[in-house]
Amino acid sequence: MNRLTQTCDRCHRGIRQAVSTWASAVLNFVYPPECQLCGAEIEGIGPVFCETCIQQLKPSLTNECPRCGAPAGDYAELSQGCPQCRKESFAFERVIRLGIYGDQMRLACLRAKGAGGSSLTRGLADVLVDQKRPIFDQFPLDLVVPVPEHWSRRFLHPHYAAEILSRQIGHRLGVPWSRSVLFKQRRTPKQATSPTPRRRQQQQGSFAVKQNRDLAGKTILLVDDILTTGATADAAARTLKLAGTQRVIVAVIAVSPLRS
């Protein structure tokens, strides 16, 4: 590519950017952006939630279990996990969560799964990364991947929250992202309230890693929207580790209280 072509490309990019910024400013003037949770007007270009909702989405600074992400008492001994997960064996090392599955978070997760939930999901990812960056920075992450869905579910629901969430987290952290490393080879029932042993049984062997993927020695961030019993994330993490991954860290929007 010669110097003239490069200069032209830069000019075109600059013009496109200026037009896009100008168009956004006009649209924001005519239709001021609204918070995607409460509908309040938002100032400026970029945020999808108002400041009040962002504060409600952020977790209160209570202690949390580093293994499963569940809230814990201030003086709880958590070196071996909390009472909810101590007897469980997980293939992932820890869970990084944005919030507790309270009213505002439940609403956000429901809307994130719905049609048009992409920008809301990206907004949640930004809040998650900004709030928990010191924890993310503790791990030398090589790759971000979503917990995959079976193709038949993807076919019916093309908007997949875990995929959009993981992509935005990778983008925000500056870590490569891929949706083609891990895939779901067998459809499993959606039984959020099943007891943990049954969920583990259902998930066993349901994931696979694409051939020719060199994961040896890598640290992978596995992303899902909600963690319930941890059985799904555990099965996905186990598959990644069998393929050579050294460490798997899980990131979720929220940890559901539906645990048994």
Chain positions contacting Zn ion, by CB under 5 A: 35, 37-38, 40, 50, 53, 65, 67-68, 70, 81-82, 85
- Say if residues 101 and 94 touch (Cβ distance below 8 Å): no
Least Å distance, CB 80 to Zn ion, is 9
Residue among 65 and 165 whose Cβ is closer to Zn ion: 65
- Hunting for tokens 């030398």 — which residue is that? 140
Q: Round to whole Å and give the CA distance between 114 and 133.
A: 27
Cβ 255 to Zn ion, closest distance in Å? 9
Number of C-beta neighbours around residue 115 at 10 A: 9
The 3-state DSSP class for residue 96 equals strand
For residue 8, the minimal CB distance to Zn ion (Å) is 43
In terms of CB distance, is 176 or 257 closer to Zn ion?
Answer: 257
Least Å distance, CB 95 to Zn ion, is 8
Q: Which is nearer to Zn ion, 31 or 155 (CB)?
A: 31
Contact 257, 192 (CB under 8 A): no
The nearer residue to Zn ion, 37 or 223, going by C-beta atoms, is 37
**Angle, alpha carbons 10-11-17 (nearest 5°):** 90
User: Cα 15 to chain center, whole Å?
Assistant: 34
Count the Cβ atoms, other than its own, within 10 Å of residue 84: 21
Smallest separation, CB 72 to Zn ion (Å) = 7
Compute the CA torsion angle 236, 237, 241, 247 (nearest 10 deg). Answer: 150
**Are 210 and 183 in contact, with CB atoms under 8 Å apart?**
yes
**CB nearer to Zn ion: pick between 118 and 178:** 118
Give the whole-angstrom CA distance, residue 121 versus residue 136: 19
- The residue (of 35 and 175) whose beta carbon lies closer to Zn ion is 35
**Distance of closest approach, residue 205 Cβ to Zn ion, in angstroms:** 25
Q: How far apart are CB 28 and Zn ion at their closest, in Å?
A: 17
Strands (DSSP E) contained in the chain are: 63-64, 71-72, 94-100, 143-146, 182-184, 207-209, 219-227, 247-255
